[in-house]
Amino acid sequence: MGNFRAEAERIYETTRDTDTRGIIAAILHLADTIAPAATGSTHSMLSITEWQEAVLAYLRGKVTREKSASRIREWLASQSYEVDLETVQRGLWELVAVGLVTARTSGASPVFAAARS
């Protein structure tokens, strides 16, 4: 699934068409949701990394504000987490897949926010 995901992310990042971006975001979300089930894992078994926990706390503190992956990566760097942008993007989509983060894909690039409980 790595090649499929990489190609979908490449198209997602290079297209300005919001319909296309929304479709690709939905496909990536479904892929992230279905892939663990195919390997026998469940969402509750997602191993959240230390930097993902920090991002969740950061987003929860800013409930009304959405943040781009690049802005989140900058914040992580300011907190001494050395995580590249691609890793941050994938980690955010993992959090979206398990319902901890929401994504809005209608703009030029996706923005993420804490999921409201």
- pLDDT (0 to 100) of residue 40: 40
Spatial contact of 88 and 73, defined as CB atoms under 8 Å apart? yes
pLDDT digit string, tens, across residues 17-59: 777 777 777 777 666 665 544 344 334 446 788 999 999 999 9
Beta-carbon contacts of 22 under 8 Å, excluding residues fewer than 6 positions away, are 105, 106
Question: Read out DSSP for 50-78?
Answer: HHHHHHHHHHHTTTT--EEHHHHHHHHHH
Q: Taking the model in full, what pTM does it have?
A: 0.61
Strand partners, 67: 112
Spatial contact of 105 and 21, defined as CB atoms under 8 Å apart? yes
